[in-house]
Amino acid sequence: MTTTIDQLSERMTAALDEAEERLPVVPARILRLERTIAGRTTDAVVSVANAARASIERVNTQAATSAKTVVGTARRSVTSTLDTARTGYRTVVGQGSAQISRVGDAAEREMARANQRIAETAADAIEVIDPDDDASTGYDRWTREELYEKAVELDISGRSSMDKAELLAAVRSHQG
């Protein structure tokens, strides 16, 4: 009998639920929080992976369509085959480059959103563990310009196109 990932996940969830029930209140809450953070992080990674997969599928479809066009043109005219192949090649490379750029931008946006969600979850965690702790809100009071300067200091890539919320998430995640 083969054990599936779903079955393993169900067993792990049951074991963690049981462990959480046996723990005192504070460690149980910390375990619950860590499970929530892990779940949100996993969801964010899956979202980025799905966006990348969808973009790669579009590139493959465009490449296949372009290849069919190049082959059909070659059959119709031997004399224009070389020119058509060059044009098709340039089109595919241009489309591929543009799609790769879009995939990178989409992945960067998804990572910024994921970092924002992680930062929010961490702030929630600090609030749950110590509601009187003000440490989680320090960067919240910074201006976009201050956050941008911190991003320069931390050498965070893509910072010039980030808004304040994205900069805040990136700085927090980089600070670890």
Task: Express each pLDDT in 112-125 by its tens digit.
Answer: 777 777 867 776 67
Query: What would the mean pLDDT of 35-64 be, rounded to a whole number?
Result: 88
How far does the chain reach from its first CA to its final CA, in angstroms? 42
- Count Cβ atoms below 10 Å from residue 126 Cβ, excluding itself: 16
Please say whether the beta carbons of 47 and 110 come within 8 A: yes
Query: What would the mean pLDDT of 46-70 be, rounded to a whole number?
Result: 89
Q: What pLDDT is attached to residue 170?
A: 94
Residue closest to 54 by CA, chosen among 92, 102, 89:
102
Q: Give per-residue pLDDT as tens, 16-35.
A: 899 899 999 999 899 899 98
